[in-house]
Amino acid sequence: MIMPESHTIASDRKLRSVCPLDCPDACALQVTVSQDSPTAQPRITRVAGHPDHPVTKGAICHKVQRFPERIYSSERVLQPMRRKPGRAKGLASRPVHDDFEPVSWDQAYAEIGQRFRDIIRDHGAEAILPYSYYGNMGVLSSESMDRRFFHRLGASHLARTICNAAAAEGYGYTMGVPAGVDPEATVHARLIIVWGCNIVSTNMHQVMLANEARKRGARIICIDVHRNRTARWADESYLVRPGSDAALALGMMHILFRDGLADRAFLSRYTLGAEELEQSVAAWTPERTAEVTGLSVSDIEHLASLYGTISPSFLRIGNGLQHHDNGGMIIRTLACLPAITGQWGKPGGGALKGNGWYAGFDLKTLQRPDLHPNSDARTVNMNQLGEALLTAEPPVKALFVYNSNPATVTPDQTRVRQGLQRDDLFTVVHDLMLTDTCGYADLVLPATSHFENTDLYKSYWHLYVQLHEPVLPPQGEARSNVRLFRELAEVMGFEEPCFKDTEEDLIRQALASDSPWLNGMTLDSLREQGWQRLNVPATGLFPQQIPTPSGRIELVSERLEQQNLPGLPAHTPLQEPGNYPYWLITAPNHRFLNSTSAEDPRLQALEGGGPSVIMHPDTAAAAGIVEGETVSLFNDRGRVSLTAVVAPDVLPETLVTLGLWRDDPEQGVVAVNHLTPSRSADMGGGATFFSTRVGLQKQPA
Ligand SMILES: Nc1nc2c(c(=O)[nH]1)N[C@H]1C(S)=C(S)[C@@H](COP(=O)(O)OP(=O)(O)OC[C@H]3O[C@@H](n4cnc5c(=O)[nH]c(N)nc54)[C@H](O)[C@@H]3O)O[C@H]1N2
Ligand SMILES: Nc1nc2c(c(=O)[nH]1)N[C@H]1C(S)=C(S)[C@@H](COP(=O)(O)OP(=O)(O)OC[C@H]3O[C@@H](n4cnc5c(=O)[nH]c(N)nc54)[C@H](O)[C@@H]3O)O[C@H]1N2
Ligand code: SF4
Ligand SMILES: [Mo]
């Protein structure tokens, strides 16, 4: 249904939409849909931030302003396609439409049905593996009918660990649940520490709120391994060694206790283990902390003194920190800091790692895990896709990819691609665009853009739930994820009534949960305004409720001890063997969203035209490298070439490359994830993208 908000001229309508991308801001959009004549196809001509949304406030990022280019891109997939006989799988050249021949949806469904039935007969249903993430954050698009389908099929489970698994677990050991304060309250903060979070690129509305706090006198600190855009905007910035953040937090705690800056009343009322913690951080002298982190003693003293004397203080904990071998423990340790100075419960004080937990949709009903016929079915960690495709028993014989682009985003690409290249692997990719993963697909299915769908969105940062209703009809033959899996259920002969549910049924089910925060939110109430705030206090759950086993903020955790991990916050060294001299951080860039929008030539140009690697002048000099030169990064997993950028924005031991670029064989661009490890982090089976060591060389001429 198209719901006009207002009419400008007869053929131009401004409609409400939501940004579907995996970005904390979950912006409310206002799109202009133009129609040349009543019979012409409506077209989106402008995408802007919705002026009335309390967090979006009319502002959105450049990449989403360019969504019309993406929706109408010549790379958009608009019909089902089958790989042409004789066209080899792989990325020897960029995938193009001509690698495929069009088929009808009925033919595509018949082929999937036949292949799935044969595979189940010969190898069992666990030989089928879904592969999805949050390319579209809508709860219907990402975790409803699709999950029902694969559960009922009896497929292998996928552990969706690529982003937030280690942090969710680590934070939970301290605070009970992965939730923090309302970001809108952060305008009241007097000190803001942005820690391992490049908010200027990845959370722009937090920057808007922090700017408001700054106007009221707040000081903004950035702690990172890289003088990124956020560091340049902050009042003070500090460069640490990769993976050393828990040590810095322990060193700060040492000083807070030493100098009487800890809030003893808060600690005794709300926390467990403050005395043990105080004893254990006695060993984290500023000198030892300096040795581990690479900071100077005076910087560490300064940071602790700011944190101990300015209140309220707000800690924005980033997603990148957890992408280390010790990522869970880093987040667990940082999450202890606000309790030391008693920040929880003060408007503007506390911390925010993620807030997705508050919108407690009824996922059990949406996903129906009970439909799975095999309670012992295996689980494949999505970070270990390469191993799964190459070595799993029973073998993976079919891979069904949607909402994700594993040939770019998944670590250890050498093995991922060896696996994807297997002739006997049946690969289906459902996407809007010809992604690099399509280069390995047997069948490519056209996905609708979120503009074409009904869906329900929460944010993992702000506290508004939003309803999305279509603003465009499906383009070409594209079908939504919900429709695709509803129809595949029919193809497979699944008769459970839940496979007949409409989008509206699913939204009602999602909202009919017992979460106290949803507070009577309904499909109709959402329809009225488009969004509604969760019933969460501005200071969040804490300290009134602390849902840990002890009911206190657990500075010491028995659950961690039971996992054979340190019960107290701790610095644990990174696991990557030291065969290569440099740490390589492969962080997101400003204008792509993971690999989404990386096809846009304008955004590519603004990102420098191709992947580059930032190195310290001493590092460049030692390797005889000058700015602009092509260099190789390599380790036992792979080799990639990039353009050298020489700047004192990193420590000499650290290299940084930004953005998940597409393969471009003609330009010699190979996915940077060829270098990253598929090892699991210390918690949650999380990814360890940033715990990568590499060698650096001038590219031989
Ligand atoms: N423009 C843009 N926005 C995005 C995304 C995107 O790709 N582009 N991706 C979205 C997604 S899925 C996510 S998860 C978030 C991620 O966004 P953020 O939460 O900002 O996390 P990252 O960008 O992964 O990493 C943040 C910072 O951590 C730094 N870092 C790496 N290792 C360390 C370390 O050991 N210590 C410290 N102190 N810093 C370290 C990196 O240099 C980087 O600047 O952004 C979302 N928003
Ligand atoms: N080296 C390195 N690797 C990383 C990261 C890093 O920082 N460094 N970041 C990691 C993180 S935090 C994350 S979250 C992952 C993200 O990994 P992915 O979730 O795979 O993210 P995207 O690259 O955005 O790919 C999403 C795909 O979904 C498609 N899509 C969008 N909407 C729909 C839809 O409605 N239906 C279907 N079927 N498809 C749709 C998009 O077109 C796009 O191709 O990447 C991880 N990989
Ligand atoms: S990517 Fe993030 S900042 Fe950009 S429009 Fe979407 S939610 Fe807003
Ligand atoms: Mo992510």
**What are the tens digits of pLDDT across the range 111-126?**
999 999 999 999 999 9
* φ, ψ for residue 508, nearest 5 deg: -60, -40
Q: What is the pTM of this model?
A: 0.97
Give the distance (Å) from ligand 1 centre to CA of residue 236.
19
Cβ atoms of residues 254 and 286 within 8 Å: yes
* Residue owning the nearest CA to atom 28 of ligand 1: 196
CATH of domain 582-698: 2.40.40.20
Is the shortest distance between the CB of 26 and ligand 3 below 6 Å?
yes
Distance 404 CA to ligand 3 centre (A): 18
Mean pLDDT of 601-616: 98
Angle (deg, nearest 10), helices 327-334 and 165-175: 40
Q: What is the mean pLDDT of residues 472-499?
A: 98
pLDDT greater than 80 at residue 6: no
CATH (one of 3.30.1490.20, 2.60.40.1510, 3.40.228.10, 3.60.150.10) for 181-353+542-562:
3.40.228.10
The ligand with the least distance to the CA atom of 410 is: 2
**Helix (H/G/I), strand (E/B), else coil: 477:** coil
Query: Which mutation among 131, 137, 162, 228 tests ligand 2's pocket best, with the greatest number of atoms within 8 A of CB?
Result: 162
What residue spans in the chain does CATH classification 2.40.40.20 cover? 582-698
Ligand located closest to 139 CA: 2
Question: 161 C-alpha vs ligand 3 centroid, how far in Å?
Answer: 22
Q: What is the crossing angle of helices 286-293 and 297-309, to 10°?
A: 110
* Whether the predicted pLDDT of 3 surpasses 70: no
Residue 330 and residue 79: Cα distance in Å, rounded?
Answer: 46
Q: Which two tokens stand for residue 86?
A: 């004789």
The ligand 1 atom at the shortest distance from the C-alpha of residue 585 is 31
Q: Relative to the CA of 205, which ligand 3 atom is closest?
A: 3
CB 194 less than 6 A from any atom of ligand 3: no
75-123 pLDDT tens trace: 999 999 999 999 999 999 999 999 999 999 999 999 999 999 999 999 9
Task: List ligand 1's pocket residues with C-beta within 6 A.
Answer: 22-23, 163, 195-198, 201-202, 223-226, 228, 240, 242-243, 245, 318-321, 324, 585, 587-588, 590, 592-594, 690
**Considering only CA atoms, which residue is closest to atom 6 of ligand 3?**
19
Q: In the prediction, which pLDDT does 38 show?
A: 86
What pLDDT, in 10s, does the model give residues 238-281? 999 999 999 999 999 999 999 999 999 999 999 999 999 999 99
Share of the chain above pLDDT 90, in %: 96
Q: Tokens in use for 203?
A: 């959370």
Helix (H, G, I), strand (E, B) or coil at 352: strand
pLDDT at 10 over 70: no
Q: Which atom of ligand 2 is nearest to the CA of 588?
A: 7
Backbone angles phi, psi at 46, to 5 degrees: -150, 140
Interval 656-666: pLDDT, tens: 999 999 999 99
Which among 30, 50, 56, 61 is the best mutation to test ligand 3's pocket, defined by most ligand atoms within 8 Å of the CB?
Answer: 61
pLDDT at residue 22 above 60?
Answer: yes
Mean pLDDT of the chain, nearest integer? 97
Residues of CATH 3.40.228.10 domain(s) within the chain?
181-353+542-562
Q: Beta-carbon neighbour count of residue 287 at 10 Å?
A: 10
Would the pLDDT of 209 be above 70? Answer: yes
Question: How many other CB atoms are there within 10 angstroms of residue 90's CB atom?
Answer: 15
Measure the N-to-C terminal CA separation of the chain; round to a whole number of Å.
Answer: 59
Distance, in Å, from the CA atom of 329 to the CA atom of 570, rounded to the nearest integer, reads: 7
pLDDT band at 562 (very low <50, low <70, confident <90, very high): very high
CA distance 500 to 361: 20
Predicted confidence (pLDDT) per residue in 349-406, tens digit: 999 999 999 999 999 999 999 999 999 999 999 999 999 999 999 999 999 999 999 9
Return d(Cα 584, Cα 162) in angstroms, integer. Answer: 18
Cα separation of 591 and 149, whole Å? 34
Q: For 531-541, what is the mean pLDDT?
A: 96
List, in sequence order, every beta strand (DSSP E) within 207-293.
219-224, 236-239, 271-272
Mean pLDDT of 522-537: 96
Cβ contact 632:693 at 8 Å: no
What tokens appear for 419 in the block?
A: 């696996």
Query: How far does residue 22's CA lie from ligand 4's centre (Å)?
Result: 7
* Topology of domain 81-163+361-533, CATH: Rossmann fold (3.40.50)
| pLDDT above 70 (res 5) | no
Taking the centre of ligand 3 as the mean of its atom positions, its distance from the CA of residue 311, in whole angstroms, is 30
Residue 1 pLDDT exceeds 60: no
DSSP states of 260-301: T-S-HHHHHHHEE-HHHHHHHHTT--HHHHHHHH---HHHHH
